[in-house]
Structure 1
Amino acid sequence: MLSTTNEAVQKEIDQIKSILKVDFVGMALATMQPSAKKEIRWRYVSGNLSQRYQKIVLQVGHGFAGIVWRTGRRLLEDHLENKTATELLAYPIAIAEELNSVVVEPIFYKDEVVAVLLVGYREANQLRDTLLNKLNDCTSGLAALVAEQVVN
């Protein structure tokens, strides 16, 4: 059953990339490790340049996923190319995937953040209102799939 859910989530991530016409889509989920701080990892991706995203481990409050997880609010970054190398170290997914414009959206289940969805472009200044509106539509379908994983 879980394998079917994983496949459905990956298919949805691939569709989001196609619908939104973005370069990269990634969804981060918390790992379940008892007696440890909550770790967040990029679990589902589409449009990735390499497998480096698999090695990224964030904590709540750190990196794009961790900040959105903690705040429960959308994060927009449109000119990552203007950040210094030191500033970019806080956003390892941007470095690994060479992203310059990103929107990071929380995914809720029962009023709690259960996942974070990042969509991005490798070129700067690509974020438009139409993208943000379409993103809202896309995340509602994804929330139901993620909820299945949280419950199981």
Structure 2
Amino acid sequence: MNRSEEIAHVCESILANITADFVGLALQNREGPDVRWHYAAGNSNEKYKRISVRYGKGIAGKVISTGSPITINNFPEDIQGKPLEYPIMLAEKLLYAYAVPIHYKGAPKGVILVGSRTNDPITDSEQKMIKQAASTMEGMLDSLF
């Protein structure tokens, strides 16, 4: 299994083990600050492949810039800024999202986003599992950077 397949497998296993509709992996580009979605499981279309957000923008850019997990409930009602600033939420019609940073060489460089097309939040134990998956992926990023 190559590195891309391993990463896809981690995304798919998160999706299989928790109550969510979508799992995606976004990474900051090697050159420049922009953030792009690289992998998805449970996606309803291929739009995620074309989404690129600025550092600090969108859910992925905000998680990378703060280095902290972010939860979005009841999208687009309870957000800061405009819904268009959250293209992955719009593209996948997500109402709920939980996103955690993935660190590379000590700095946040990626994001695992778990989302739902219903407004059902995930449990604390599911959040722990996602954080564990993020730690697992940290060891896989060498080949991507």
What's the TM-score, normalizing by structure 1?
Answer: 0.86
Deviation at 1:83, TM superposition (A): 5.1
Corresponding pairs, count: 144
Q: 1:100 to 1:31 in 2, by over 3 A?
A: same
Structure whose residues are more often helix by fraction: 1
Aligned amino acid, residue 26 of structure 1: G
Q: 1:14 aligns with which of 12, 36, 60?
A: 12
1:87-106 matches, cutoff 5 A: 87-106=82-101
Distance in 1 between residues matched to 2:71 and 2:13, nearest whole Å: 21
Query: Aligned AA for 2:99?
Result: V
Contact 1:31 1:40 in 2 (8 A): yes
Structure 1 match to 2:26: 28
> d(CA) in 2 for partners of 1:21 and 1:83?
21
Aligned to 2:66: 71
Whether 1:80 aligns to 2:75 is yes
> What TM-score results when the alignment is normalised by the length of structure 2?
0.90
Paired residue for 2:124? 129
For each residue in 1:105-132, what CA deviation from the matched residue of structure 2 results, as whole angstroms up to 9, or x when unmatched? 0011221112111001110132322221
AA at the equivalent of 1:24: F
Which blocks of at least 5 consecutive residues in structure 2 are unaligned? none
Q: Identity of counterpart residues, as a percentage?
A: 28
Aligned mate of 2:57, from 46, 55, 62:
62
CA contact (8 A) 2:48 2:88 kept: yes
- Residues 25 and 111 in structure 2, CA contact (< 8 A), matched pair in contact too: yes
Contact 2:19–2:122 (Cα < 8 Å) also in 1: no
Alignment partner for residue 3 of structure 2, among 2, 5, 15? Answer: 5
Structure 1 segments of 4+ aligned residues over 4 angstroms from their partners: none
Distance in 2 separating the partners of 1:131 and 1:78: 16
In angstroms, what is the RMSD of aligned CA positions?
A: 1.8
2:118 and 2:25 mapped to 1: Cα distance?
20
Look up the SS of the partner of 1:43 in the other structure.
Answer: strand
Unaligned 5+ runs, structure 1: none
Question: Alpha-carbon deviation of 1:70?
Answer: 0.5
Residue 70 of structure 2 aligns with an amino acid whose one-letter code is L
Between 19-28 and 136-145, the greater mean CA deviation after superposition = 136-145
For 2:82 and 2:123, locate their aligned partners in 1 and report how far apart those are by CA, in whole Å: 24
